[in-house]
Structure 1
Amino acid sequence: MTPLPRPPAWAEPLPEAHPPAGMTVHHLPTGTYETRAALAVRGGSFRDKRQFAASAVLVRHPHGDLLIDAGFGAHVAEHVSMLPRLVRAPYRAGRTAGDQLDAAGHARDRLRGVLLTHSHWDHSSGLDRLPGTPIWMNAAERLYAATDPDGKVFRRVAQGHEVHEYGFDNHPYLGFPASFDVYGDGSVVVVPAGGHTTGSVIVFVAPPTGPRYAFIGDLTWQLDGIRRRVERPWLLSRLADSDRRQLRQDLLRIIALDGLMRIVPAHDLGSYDGVPLLTPDVATHPA
């Protein structure tokens, strides 16, 4: 197995950001499902079982909070039954993101929306416990979710939700040709990365203290893809990815940032280590 060529490390200053003092970032774990490393990353072993994370991330911001992905929902068993048998895996469901918000005393009227890195079931299932919360999607992912066979679960859980369609401007960001600055202060910036699905995105988050984050969705399923510079197994990539050439280009862009920020593949459980959980004392304190 030959790794991808090592890209030059990012040598320019990180983009300017002015996050407000009260902004915080929190991990909302909603469950896991099991797969073999050999099916997750090239060169992985069939003996190595990986617990894939299904999570949401809450960004608390004075101008309104945002969830990145939704994780597993209350009806995850039904959602798994809608998948082709080939891709079903043993799973363990925890509390939904919506239930965790409620348990912490988070005021739902503070939640501006759920920004999906993409619309696959394990990122959107939890919408079933977030009634009335807008779904933030770009036009390419909205079309993908409406038409692709892999969008069945999304189409089920998105019923009754308003879709807030955002676009990208022509401002490059960390090697990506376009971007969307959610709050206008550089604290949350979305870039297009349409290799896994046609409208997949990466969400860069710059809190006022601590490391910056790159929430990369399913650009790679495990951190091995970044650290070892390897892609998904060939067959899995053929089945799972919309544009393998685009995915490789974006993977190299993220590899160039390794060491400059925390890179969080959505399904790498260990990559969330250090991202604080949501607690009542935090949720009820103004951002």
Structure 2
Amino acid sequence: MSPLAEPATWTQPLPEARPPAGMAIYHLPTGTYETRAAFAVRGGSFRDKRHFAASAVLVQHPAGDLLIDAGFGVDVAAHVAMLPRFVRAPYQVGRTVGAQLDAAGYDRGRLLGVLLTHSHWDHASGLDSLRGTPVWMNANERRYAAEDPDGRVFRHVSPGHEIHEYGFDDQPYLGFPASHDVHGDGSVVVVLAGGHTTGSVIVFVTLPSGGRYAFIGDLTWQIDGIRRRVERPWLLSRLADSDPHQLRQDLLRMIALDGLLRIVPAHDLGSYDGIPRLTPEAAPRSR
């Protein structure tokens, strides 16, 4: 399978960011499910079994914290049962995001909300362990989640959550035409990448250390998509993606950035290596 044409590497300066002292990120894994590489990326081997991550990332910021995605929830078995049979897969469950926050003694009053990269079940299931926490969505994804069959689990777990709808400014960011700067300091910037779902986003995070991350949701399911420049298998793309052409454009944008920042596909377990777990010693208390 021929890879995508290699895009020119990004050569412009990286966007200015002023992340405040005390800002940090934490990985909150909630479980995994199994699939074959052949179903994840074009040219993948059927013998290569992958454990897809179902995780959240806590972004700590003095002005208020955000969770990127919510992972598996308390009622994940019921959520899986809502899926079409052909997409169900063996899964392993860990602690929910809510349980991990509480075990660490985290003050949930710090949470501004859960910023979903998109509203599919394996990103939204854990909202049932985060009752009362606002959900951040743009208008495109809010509409998708309300109308698309793949929004069924989101519609089941979202009642009782305030929806915080955010928009995008006409401010280009790393090749993406519009962006939303969450805190106004460049530390957390969201861009629209509406190929997987119509409102899918990428969340760029810059830490005080200078480390930069791109949490790309399901732009590609595995880092192979970036490193080998390959898309999803044709049939899987037709089933999973709202706009394969847009997805290809955004995938090429991220390939051009590889090496300049750390790219984290939501379901690539190894891509979270090195991101610390939340512990009682690390958990921020009241603001």
Tell me, yes or no, whether TM beats 0.5. yes
- Equivalent AA in structure 2 for residue 283 of structure 1: A
How far does residue 284 in structure 1 lie from its aligned partner after superposition? 3.6
Which of structure 1's runs of 4+ aligned residues deviate more than 4 A? none
Q: Is the 8 A contact 2:109 2:286 kept in 1?
A: no
Aligned residue in 1 for 2:136: 136
Aligned residue in 2 for 1:43: 43
Structure 1 residue 19 corresponds to structure 2 residue 14: no
Aligned residue in 1 for 2:268: 268
Give the Cα separation in 1 of the matches to 2:55 and 2:41.
20
Q: Is the 8 A contact 2:106 2:285 kept in 1?
A: no
Aligned residue in 1 for 2:159: 159
Q: Is the 8 A contact 1:137 1:166 kept in 2?
A: yes
Aligned residue in 1 for 2:188: 188
SS class of match (1:282): coil
% identity of equivalent residues: 78
Deviations, residues 136-193 of structure 1 (Å, cap 9, x unaligned): 0000000000000000000000011000000000000000000000000000000000
Contiguous gaps of at least 5 residues in structure 1? none
Give the Cα separation in 2 of the matches to 1:246 and 1:40.
18
Residues paired across the two proteins, number? 287
How far does residue 209 in structure 1 lie from its aligned partner after superposition? 1.1
Provide TM-score, normalisation by structure 1: 0.99
SS class of match (1:217): coil
Give the Cα separation in 1 of the matches to 2:210 and 2:168.
27
Q: Is the 8 A contact 1:22 1:286 kept in 2?
A: no
Give the Cα separation in 2 of the matches to 1:70 and 1:181.
21
| Structural mapping, 1:1-287, within 5 Å | 1-284=1-284
Contiguous gaps of at least 5 residues in structure 2? none
Give the Cα separation in 2 of the matches to 1:140 and 1:73.
24
Give the Cα separation in 2 of the matches to 1:230 and 1:185.
34
Give the Cα separation in 1 of the matches to 2:241 and 2:272.
24
Provide TM-score, normalisation by structure 2: 0.99
Give the Cα separation in 2 of the matches to 1:234 and 1:106.
43
How far does residue 285 in structure 1 lie from its aligned partner after superposition? 5.3
SS class of match (1:164): strand
- Equivalent AA in structure 1 for residue 33 of structure 2: Y
